[in-house]
Homo-oligomer: A and B are copies of this chain.
């Protein structure tokens, strides 16, 4: 039953990052709920195109997010 949906901006994370998110978010959830729930723990990742996600009214690009990641 637990369903985890992750929304990201496109072109920020690599396919490897996304596989890691699925694996590790599932493991984190299973550590809380119990191993017996693993098979009904779903994680799906949905990406929003650059320019279609605004914070405070400013539409983000992958470049802006990369700059945020750099700190």
- Copies per assembly: 6
CB distance from A6 to the nearest CB of B (A): 5
Complex-state Cα separation, A3 to B5, whole angstroms: 8
In the bound complex, do residue B32 and residue A20 qualify as a contact, i.e. CB atoms below 8 Å apart? Answer: yes
In the bound complex, do residue B59 and residue A22 qualify as a contact, i.e. CB atoms below 8 Å apart? Answer: yes
In the bound complex, do residue B60 and residue A1 qualify as a contact, i.e. CB atoms below 8 Å apart? Answer: yes
Residue A63 CB within 8 A of the other chain: no
Q: Using Cβ atoms and an 8 Å threshold, which residues of chain B touch A46? A: 46, 48, 52
Q: Using Cβ atoms and an 8 Å threshold, which residues of chain B touch A1? A: 7-9, 12, 53, 55, 60, 65
Known A1-B7, A36-B68, A41-B56; 16 more pairs at CB < 8 Å = A1-B9, A2-B7, A4-B6, A4-B7, A7-B44, A21-B32, A22-B57, A24-B28, A28-B28, A33-B69, A35-B71, A37-B69, A38-B57, A41-B57, A43-B54, A44-B53
